[in-house]
Amino acid sequence: MSRSNRTCFLFIFCIVLVAAACGGDDGPTEPTPVEPPPPPAVTLTGTWSGRAEGAFVTGDAMATLTQTGTDVTGDWSMQMPAALVAFGAPAELDLEGPVSGTVMDMTAELSFGFLEIEAFAEYVDTSECAIDVSVSSFDATMLEATWATNAMCQPPVVDEGTLSFTRQ
């Protein structure tokens, strides 16, 4: 075999090897499905109780919360604070109402609404007044938050403070 034939043969042999190494074209490949992240190990779902501390609204409180995805719903209650009784609130009624909001990782923004209390009618429309709760952290056993009455609450029920809950 002449030198030029050998060179040609080696050249063709190399091309065949490269083609074999590349394999055939099976067409476009399907993208690898991306699985959604697992749900958080700890959610706000459960019964929480503890203490609310503020200038007017101070006392033991509780909330029963349900977290579905990032949405939170539930209800809350606390004994009528003495400072509000002094303004004419009925001592025999509890402050209570619905909870709604969203959770982001281990923090949450919640709204604690009020059921209508006739004694407050001269001060505030309880259908609009609510407590805005910013949960700064929570885990399997505790929840820490700051809160403030929203802009719809009028004096003398304007207040802000802290909330410390433990899961029951």
Residue 37 has pLDDT above 70, yes or no: no
What is the average per-residue pLDDT within 108-133?
80
**Cβ–Cβ under 8 Å, residues 133 and 110:** yes
Instruction: Count other C-beta atoms under 10 Å from residue 122's C-beta.
Output: 8
What letter does residue 141 receive in the DSSP assignment? S
What letter does residue 83 receive in the DSSP assignment? H
Asked if the structure places residue 6 within a domain, the reply is no
Asked if the structure places residue 40 within a domain, the reply is no
Residue 63 has pLDDT above 90, yes or no: yes
- Domain coverage including residue 64: 46-167
The mean pLDDT of the chain is 83
Which tens digits make up the pLDDT trace of 78-119? 998 888 788 777 888 888 999 999 999 999 999 999 887 666
So what's the pLDDT on residue 161? 97
Asked if the structure places residue 24 within a domain, the reply is no
Residues 6+ apart with CB under 8 A from 166: 48, 49, 50, 141, 142, 143
Q: What percentage of the chain has pLDDT greater than the value 70?
A: 73
What is the average per-residue pLDDT within 51-68?
94
So what's the pLDDT on residue 114? 86
Contacts of residues 144-152 at CB distance under 8 Å and 24 or more positions apart, as own/partner, are: 145/110, 147/52, 147/54, 147/112, 150/111, 152/124, 152/125, 152/128
Asked if the structure places residue 130 within a domain, the reply is yes
Q: How confident is the model at residue 34 (pLDDT cuts 50, 70, 90)?
A: confident
So what's the pLDDT on residue 54? 93
138 three-class SS: strand
Asked if the structure places residue 159 within a domain, the reply is yes
**CATH for 107:** 2.40.128.120
Asked if the structure places residue 1 within a domain, the reply is no
Higher pLDDT, 65 or 90: 65
pTM of the model: 0.72
Supply the Cα-derived Rg of the chain in whole angstroms. 32
Question: Cis link prior to 156 (omega < 30° from 0)?
Answer: yes
So what's the pLDDT on residue 156? 62
Asked if the structure places residue 39 within a domain, the reply is no
Asked if the structure places residue 25 within a domain, the reply is no
The domain total for the chain is: 1
